Copies of this chain bind each other. A is one copy, B any other.
Amino acid sequence: MLTIGTLAKKTGTKVQTIRYYEQIGLMPEPGRTKGGQRRYGDAELDRLSFVRHARQLGFSLDAIRELLDLSDHPGKSCAEADAIARRQLKQVEQRLARLEALRTELMRMVHECSGGQTSDCRVLEVLRDHTECLTNHEEIGG
């Protein structure tokens, strides 16, 4: 039986995060000691490892909820899990494309900066005038 602190260490999670996962129903309510402290077994360790790994791969908590559900039903078709992963891959690829465009623009800004006064600063100038941009970067975030 593991305390919440030990489980946290084993999975590279903060204690508060584990409690948060329990609160939103991603982790089950574990057993408790007489004094009310949580105690975890191997099933919970596996489940939390799964969650953290999926988070590292950028899956949202909602997507992870679906994946956990699929994982809990070994007879179900694999197609859904595959679809979720493909969706995630697509998102990653879109973000990659956007970030690459941003990198291009930022490099251009930085390389054109001559180091004088802000009145001649290319960085500020480019920010002031979107029409100077070579790439489209309409959506915010990335």
Binding site for B on A (CB under 8 A): 12, 46, 49-50, 52-58, 67, 70-71, 73-82, 84-86, 88-89, 92-93, 95-96, 99-100, 102-103, 105-107, 109-110, 113-121, 123-124, 127-128, 130, 137-142
Contacts and interface: CB of A to CB of B under 8 A. Distances in A.
A76 B70 CA distance: 59
A119 B57 contact: no
Chief secondary structure at chain A's binding surface: helix
A99 B96 contact: yes
Count this chain's copies in the assembly.
2
A137 to B, nearest CB: 5
A46 B125 CA distance: 12
A56 B99 contact: no
A137 B124 CA distance: 35
B128 A71 contact: yes
A58 B128 contact: no
